[in-house]
Amino acid sequence: MLGSQENPGLMILTVKDLFDQMKITSDTVDYIVKVSFMEVYNETLRDLLVPGPTNLDIREDPEKGMVVAGVNEVICEALPEVLSILK
């Protein structure tokens, strides 16, 4: 999913395109990009931004709809910030 520097993977290409498209419309639209990383394994959700085991719950929020309660979100403003979180 990450690929290499010579052959970037799907995740890197997608995030790069996201930030490229945001630059095009940044004059008229304000953006906030929040990054979270979760693992789903044996019907258990785990927050990959927190060391050690975590058990997250899926809940219905009246305003947001379905959400993962307690997952960490990091605000990122550029591709290098997202890549540093992945490593």
- Residue 63, φ and ψ in degrees, nearest 5: -95, -40
pLDDT of 37 > 80? The answer is yes
For residues 73 and 34, the answer to whether their CB atoms sit within 8 Å is: yes
- What digits encode the pLDDT tens for the residues 40-60? 999 899 999 998 888 899 999
Residue 18's pLDDT is 95
- Beta-bridge mates of residue 30: none
- The DSSP code for 62 is T
Task: For residue 58, give every residue at least 6 positions away whose Cβ sits within 8 Å of its Cβ, in sequence order, or none.
Answer: 45, 66, 67, 68, 69
Query: Chain-wide mean pLDDT for the chain?
Result: 90
Tens digit of each residue's pLDDT (9 = 90 or more) over 7-25: 888 888 999 999 999 999 9
Q: What tokens were used for 80? A: 């290098």
Taking the C-alpha atoms of residue 15 and residue 74, their distance in angstroms, rounded to an integer, is 14
Q: Quick check: 31 pLDDT over 90?
A: yes
